Structure 1
């Protein structure tokens, strides 16, 4: 009865870690049951790729107080959780996607809790490297009545220009007819609807017939990288920070995020409250500088923080008080 109410893969793994009888009562969850292993990405990329799913989570260290009958939370971190081919949990930096291979003791699922904040999807080559030319993918259910998990579709941004759609079971992708001179930066599923934003801040939505329909006016700002972020039910475009006033169809320039934090990752942008983390600092935006990309990928040194209070930008490594939410603990300090 308990296992049937668990939606998170991490929760199922924690359930199985309780004891031998619980582990035998529930089979090991497998991505293979939900997603196809190999997708044929159409021209101009034309490669076979794997679809990976990870979960952005708040990782909580649970410690047992000998004087109390209930556990207490002592530490919290922001991590991206994946799973290896052997069913073992893997932790990744939520911005750079680098696997965290810390020197601390192996994770014990009965000592940690994982609270899901968002999901991320990424197309990779069988070698593990990213598919060149695919900037962003999202997965969404085609039918709300689907019970076997096979009714879903994928939308991807190709070379910051084209939008492509693939449905489970189809042999080919469909290239969408997009707005003239559009250069797409980001894509998001918001209120069960897919939205995209171009380099000029124009947001469009994609209807059930795969038509790209303009949803908001352009920001008429500089042509810098744009990101879509959902926060407390509202849709934001991050160039500076703008929120969409849906009733009046205009953009509102946001001066403060209060205790909220935006994270602009490579495959997923999301928000959370700094109050949910020990030592977390609100009213800021974490992002990576792609100019720091090298052959081995992005490193923690490429993470920057934009603080809305004074409009300052710093490297994360230079402001330790903003890095405490990331795992492992800074400077290898103990738990």
Structure 2
């Protein structure tokens, strides 16, 4: 048996290329390229698609000169799981960031998305080497921001141009993307690479359905309508399948991809009998694509589930704070 210690740079090129094909986040690519010069030469720098902030047209065209310079800016948000260098236990912290147009990073609350202000007296290092931390990207989220430098609006007037949920589906091979967004009127609008205007997504012949949520899962876009049905849309904006819910007339419905890559639904609702201030019932069910319906499940194996307006995700409770049991955080 050969006991000689081999260097990482001696790894066969075909194996390195297979590993590179599995890297789908900027953090993974950066850390992989930092291993050695040969790996760096075999790996291209990570390319965002779409490159954000991305300038997009307004949904409704108007001849009003007030909106002459108005547009939407697509903003990317990232949730990271970070372990501090001095930590001796597998305890992680969650950090959500947003990159501004000048390249600076803003820190956001992982649930509500509000910006966290750093006090002036807080001592921060001038240089932060992320290679000293155990960092992994948990998920991405997106938001559309109304912009009009010529005629700026107040926050109340801007509200009618807001979106409840925005998702981006991208094709890494050709750098093309699809963007789907639910506006405040519960309609789904779509725009693709090269499009000059938005398209209203519809199911079959009707545009009268309202939509509650949208999620990107394994390359398919699932949109939840007002009847809690999950409609799968293809790249031509046509619905290809319907997954029926466990309940129809309950409260809020959240589709979320959990630890094993499966898609689940989280139903939150209040009962007629009060459970206490701020309390509600939570039901969890799994998307059964073969049977085309949601199936109730009793456990999701000690997961902490986060339901925010721009993204939904889950992490292991044991890795996060060492506890056991399923918990749900929602805005």
1:167 aligns with 192
Write the distance in 2 (CA, Å) between the matches of 1:113 and 1:89.
Answer: 19
Cα pair distance change 1:110/1:191, threshold 3 Å: closer
Question: What RMSD, in angstroms, separates the aligned Cα atoms of the two structures?
Answer: 3.9
Mapping 1:166-205, distance limit 5 Å: 166-178=191-203, 180=206, 181-205=208-232
Write the distance in 1 (CA, Å) between the matches of 2:195 and 2:243.
Answer: 32
1:253 aligns with 296
2:5 aligns with none
**Partner secondary structure for residue 74 of structure 2:** strand
Q: Which moved more, 1:5-14 or 1:229-238?
A: 5-14
**Partner secondary structure for residue 318 of structure 2:** helix
Q: Deviations over 1:287-312 (max 9, x none)?
A: 01xxxxxxxxxxxxxxxxxxxxxxxx
Give the CA deviation at 1:96. Answer: 1.2
Write the distance in 2 (CA, Å) between the matches of 1:116 and 1:92.
Answer: 15
Write the distance in 2 (CA, Å) between the matches of 1:125 and 1:266.
Answer: 17
Q: Which moved more, 1:30-39 or 1:82-91?
A: 30-39
CA contact (8 A) 1:119 1:268 kept: yes
- Structure 1 segments (4+ residues) deviating >4 Å: 4-7, 10-18, 26-33, 44-47, 72-75, 127-131
Write the distance in 2 (CA, Å) between the matches of 1:281 and 1:89.
Answer: 33
Mapping 1:5-24, distance limit 5 Å: 8-10=25-27
1:40 aligns with 57
1:230 aligns with 257
Cα pair distance change 1:28/1:213, threshold 3 Å: closer
Q: Deviations over 1:241-300 (max 9, x none)?
A: 221222323322233323112110110011221122134554011101xxxxxxxxxxxx
Cα pair distance change 1:201/1:87, threshold 3 Å: same
Question: Given the two structures, how large is their TM-score scaled by the length of structure 1?
Answer: 0.68
Mapping 1:89-128, distance limit 5 Å: 89-102=105-118, 103=122, 105-106=124-125, 109-126=130-147
Mapping 1:37-116, distance limit 5 Å: 37-43=54-60, 47-63=70-86, 75-102=91-118, 103=122, 105-106=124-125, 109-116=130-137
1:274 aligns with 317
Write the distance in 2 (CA, Å) between the matches of 1:28 and 1:156.
Answer: 29
Cα pair distance change 1:127/1:80, threshold 3 Å: farther
Q: How many residues align?
A: 274
Cα pair distance change 1:40/1:12, threshold 3 Å: same
CA contact (8 A) 1:62 1:112 kept: yes
**Structure 2 residue runs without a partner (length 5+):** 1-8, 10-15, 36-42, 150-154, 268-282
**Partner secondary structure for residue 226 of structure 1:** strand
Give the CA deviation at 1:213. Answer: 4.0
Write the distance in 2 (CA, Å) between the matches of 1:167 and 1:247.
Answer: 29
CA contact (8 A) 1:135 1:160 kept: no
Matched, 1:155 2:155: no
Give the CA deviation at 1:52. Answer: 0.9
